[in-house]
Chain A
Amino acid sequence: MVRLTFPTREALQRAPFRWADVAVIIGTLGLLTLIALVGRTAFVPFEPPTVMPEPISLNVVNLPYYMGRSLLRMFIALLFSLLFTFTYGYLAAHSPRAERVLLPLLDILQSVPVLGFLSVTLSFFIALFRGSLLGLEAVAIFAIFTSQVWNMTFSFYHSLRSVPRELRECARVFRLSRWQYFTRVEVPYAMLGLMWNTMMSFGGGWFFVAASEAISVLNQEYQLPGIGSYVAKAIEEANVTAIVAAIVAMGLMIVTVDQLVWRPLIAWAQRFRNEQTEAKDTPNSWVLNLLRTSQLPKLIGAALEPLREFIDRLLSGTLRPKSLRMGKPPLMLPVWVDRLYDGILIAALIGGATVLLRFVLSEVPLGEILQVCGLGLITLVRVIVLTAISTLVWTPIGVAIGFNPRLSRLLQPVAQFLASFPANFLFPFVTMLLIASGVSLDVGSIVLMALGAQWYVLFNVIAGAQSIPSDLREMAANMRLRGWQLWKRLIIPGVFPAWVTGGITASGGAWNASIVAEIVSWGDVTLRATGLGAYITTATQNGDWPRIVLGVAMMSLFVVGLNRLFWRRLYALSEQRYAL
């Protein structure tokens, strides 16, 4: 009855694995050296258009260096994303007034197509870091950052808001300081979700590395050393070998980062699972096992313990627990203050919109706005077709995989790999095919957009199918539900919430992809599709700011509208009706 489970950790710790220590030391030193080597070159002088960085060389020997540069960019962006996530998420979760602004803002920001803004950020950052390549670096890092950060922030905010009442009350009864509550309850509680989202974001970030390292504005080519520029150069020179080399390198890099960073982190984060019982099969990682057997992390941890204690005391002293506002409504200020606050917000909103509109209208005739709206509708059709086809193709396959534990353990990582593989590396092949077959890019761009987006449908459906409790499946088998009956009664309701999640991500990704997918080139040949994405790209290439703003604003409107009118409702429906 009383289950005595002795922790096995101690047993592990006692084994003296000296080689583990050595491996950890060498690994750490190696990593530091690599970062130093790769990072050093970010400070080379840069004075466009006279002093430009060395041109990209397609020699395969340079590929590891380019990969290192790109990877460094990814991690720097990730660091900023984490900082942003913690502050923004914390504020939104703890201040009702801030929440009223931050949440809708977040919603809009995540719908803004990042790639449309590259040229805007470019001039800003080059001006900021005058005379240094850091300006270009910042553009790329900012683009990657904006692609990673929103869903991390959402996840963190959502976790903070859903800390179980009992844990909240427990923290208050035992009078944890706000700092202690943050470090012992909130962050651990949010950890697993944040980790998954960070991993997904990181995967998605590769797409933007490829798109933001080589930018051309006003026929001026800006290129940072990196794997994205390498591919851009290869496309320009129509060099198939180089493309294949880049794809292989990219694949290796994704797998390596997964093994060295994400697997260990995910395996480590299992301890933050908010479950009172032991999960059946927990993720495992050889790197984490190595670190756990090594004495080093423990020694460092023990050495740092007094520091942690000191910081804890210091911050706990200043961040006392919040007191109850007895007998008063939750907001202490009178109603008119809130009214005023809302008024100011609305005024700011209207003011901003007016300024934007006037800016756009200064160059763009009114009729063009309608035309751009039409272009948006065309791209919208592409996104819908893509989502529908991905769903029809991948749902049955995903369910089949999800229902088969062995298969899903094997193929779920593959689906995730495919989702994080930057689809724009594969564009050249589709482009060649389109050129050869003469199919219009108006249709072909759907394929290009689907190249990256479809995988989100697949792996979410797999996860959804896995989450259908086996007793429900046994019940269905027992009742001899088959074919359409089975789908209607069990499978569709079961995978619906997961499919909605996948659908939102896929359609968001597709909108972003349209910017690079509606104009593609191979060598000297350039294909164009009619659509909002092509409009934005053209405006960017021409440095035509009013049209950039118009295009980006229009696309944001479409994304927000689609989310509000379609995905949100489906999501609410899935929460109400189909939550398992």
Chain B
Amino acid sequence: MMTLFTTAPFTATPLDRPSRPKGAPIIIARDVCKEFELPDGNGTFTVLKDINLQIHEGEFVALLGRSGSGKSTLLRILAGLIPPTSGEVISSGQRVTGPNPDVAMVFQTFALLPWLTVLQNVELSLEALGVPPKERRERALKAIDMVGLDGFESAYPKELSGGMKQRVGFARAFVRQPKVLFMDEPFSALDVLTAENLRGEIAELWEQGDFPAKSVLLITHNIEEAVLLADRVIILGANPGRVRGEVVIDLSYAARERSNKHFKELVDGIYIAMTNPDRDVRDAMAGVPRRENPYPPLPHATAGGISGLLEVLNERPDLRDLPEISSTLQLPTDELLPIVDAAVLLGFAVVNEGDITLTDIGRVFSSADIQTSKEIFRRQVLERVPLIRQIYTTLTERPNGMIRAGVFLDMLEEHFPEEEAQQQFDIAVDWGRYTELFEYDQTDDRLRLSQP
């Protein structure tokens, strides 16, 4: 896949929400520039300069920029409402030359037709597609239901409060089931509490996975809003508008709260980047501890499993091909692979084109006596597994060498879904017990340093 970013993303880690992998790009902007005539008629001024960006399938992207940085202009160009002065927009492989069919839009000031009822407003967006009346009505009613407006189908927009009007705006966009949903400051015309409510509902809908659009592009100048909702925040600079950089929001939705430390760090970091237009975004974000593998996920393998595999490999140097190993050991591939991954993680083996070979340490480990091999395992684990190192150092710093397990579980839950956090914890405990670093007592839910 060709990357078109002029600026490398701040972090390269995949999102820690495995349920929503980043897919193929849907909308691609290439070197988009936009100039407007000066009002006095002599010359032009540049609003957007060399914008390159992509919106991928399954992504929630926020475009963050100050007022006047050209966000709305860029959105209009991507939506095919105005042409770029130079450059091009590709949507689903097609060059955009008119209203982009992949896009539905939610407007800042709602843009509802006041002379149509809620139902008619929603239906109109299907009517334009030529959907027959009966299906139109059914789909519209479903969309209205989805945004929580059932019972208001025959109300006119002027009879609704601001928040409800914007719900109609969402329903009208949802009913199209667009590939990408565009939102131009959809919450900024609402009062703070209403905005917060609606934002929460959108986040929830997105998180549940049955969102009526594959991707979302949100325009906002509200940093917190961007960090609350987006997977990726693109920061736009002003005069002329350009992509200054982007920040990946490596936080699960559950952890996106103002009280969360990393959330605050991200918001503060972006704030610094926004208030210092001349600074590099990456530089501005440098103060934010990198989430780049804070606790890289541990493969689901037990220490016993790992040493077992290494032993076999040591005894049969001819056995290298992974499928062959799988059949020899009568171990299904999906059980074998985590063990291999773990061996690689710990530096005992390397995998090359489907063949596994032991490293020097790996060979020593598997041929040494039990005490020595435990020592080697311990050294590798402390060096290469931050989670175990963290638990161990924390325990050694405690006067009684003891801590509640919940502390680490909570910490893990900031980065993993709940179930996975528990599994990670269990693996860490298993490896810790094997290496005699620490033990976990289920009866009082505590971790203790192992007694020599």
Contacts and interface: CB of A to CB of B under 8 A. Distances in A.
A577 B98 CA distance: 39
Contact of B113 (A167, A177, A316): A167
Interface stretch (A254-262, A274-282, A396-404): A274-282
Contacts of B366: none
Nearest to A324: B98
A272 interface: yes
Contacts of B109: 166
B111 A321 contact: no
B104 A323 contact: no
Interface string A158-178: 000000101101101111110
Interface in B91-136: 95-99, 101, 103-105, 107, 109-116, 124-125, 127-130, 133
B154 interface: yes
A469 to B, nearest CB: 20
B104 to A, nearest CB: 7
Interface stretch (A3-11, A70-78, A109-117, A542-550): A3-11
A339 interface: no
B213 to A, nearest CB: 13
Interface stretch (B74-82, B279-287, B341-349): B74-82
Interface string A1-37: 1110111011000000000000000000000000000
A167 B99 CA distance: 14
Nearest to B95: A326
Given A2-B164, A170-B107, A176 B158 contact: no
A173 B156 contact: no
B133 A188 contact: no
A578 B371 CA distance: 93
A399 B341 CA distance: 86
A309 interface: yes
Contacts of A365: none
Given A6-B155, A278-B159, A172 B110 contact: no
B81 A184 contact: no
B113 A326 contact: no
Contacts of A322: 98
A180 interface: yes
A185 interface: yes
B144 to A, nearest CB: 14
Interface in B146-173: 154-161, 163-165, 172
B156 A7 contact: yes
B193 interface: yes
B176 interface: yes
B128 A174 contact: yes
Given A167-B111, A169-B76, A174 B172 contact: yes
Interface residues of A, number: 44
A184 B172 CA distance: 15
Nearest to A312: B127
Query: Which interface residue of A169, A191, A323 has the most chain B CB atoms within 10 A?
Result: A169
Nearest to A325: B83
B101 to A, nearest CB: 7
A104 interface: no
B194 interface: yes
Contacts of A272: 114-115
Contacts of A273: 114, 158
Interface in B61-96: 76, 79-84, 86, 95-96
A173 B104 contact: yes
Query: Which interface residue of B99, B101, B161, B172 has the most chain A CB atoms within 10 A?
Result: B99
A325 to B, nearest CB: 7
A568 interface: no
A188 B113 contact: yes
A274 B84 CA distance: 31
Contact of A326 (B83, B111, B157): B83
Query: Which interface residue of A3, A173, A184, A313 has the most chain B CB atoms within 10 A?
Result: A173
A327 interface: yes
A169 to B, nearest CB: 5
A271 interface: yes
Nearest to A322: B98
B159 A324 contact: no
B99 A175 contact: yes
Interface string B191-214: 101100000000000000000000
Contacts of A188: 113, 115
B156 A271 contact: yes
A10 B99 contact: no
Interface string A222-240: 0000000000000000000
A276 B114 contact: yes
Q: Could you say which interface size class chain B belongs to?
A: 35 or more
B314 to A, nearest CB: 64
A166 B75 CA distance: 13
B130 A313 contact: yes
A177 B124 CA distance: 11
Contacts of A321: 98-99
Contact of A166 (B82, B107, B133): B107
A5 B159 contact: yes
Contacts of B86: 327
Contacts of A173: 79, 81, 99, 103-105, 182
A274 B115 CA distance: 8
B111 A7 contact: no
B156 to A, nearest CB: 7
A357 to B, nearest CB: 37
A275 B159 CA distance: 11
A162 to B, nearest CB: 15
Nearest to A167: B111
Given A5-B159, A172-B81, A175-B99, A180 B128 contact: yes
Given A313-B130, A327-B83, A174 B114 contact: no
A326 B97 contact: yes
Interface string A316-344: 10000111111110000000000000000
Contacts of A323: 97-98
A86 to B, nearest CB: 18
Contact of B97 (A3, A191, A324): A324
B101 A175 contact: yes
Given A10-B154, A316-B130, A276 B81 contact: no
Nearest to A188: B115
A175 B116 CA distance: 17
A85 B412 CA distance: 70
Interface in B171-189: 172, 176, 182
A9 B158 contact: no
Contacts of B81: 169, 172-173, 324
Contacts of B182: 173
A510 to B, nearest CB: 37
Contacts of A177: 128
A184 B112 CA distance: 11
B127 A324 contact: no
A37 B82 CA distance: 57
Nearest to A274: B114
Nearest to B169: A170
A113 B97 CA distance: 48
Contacts of B193: 1
A274 B79 CA distance: 25
B158 A3 contact: no
A2 B151 CA distance: 15
19 contacts: A3-B161, A6-B155, A7-B159, A167-B111, A174-B104, A174-B125, A174-B128, A175-B128, A184-B124, A185-B113, A271-B156, A276-B114, A278-B159, A309-B133, A324-B82, A324-B83, A324-B96, A324-B97, A326-B83
Given A175-B99, A188-B115, 7 more contacts: A1-B161, A7-B156, A166-B111, A188-B113, A272-B114, A316-B130, A324-B82
Q: Which 5 A-B pairs have the closest CB atoms?
A: A323-B98, A166-B111, A170-B111, A5-B159, A326-B83
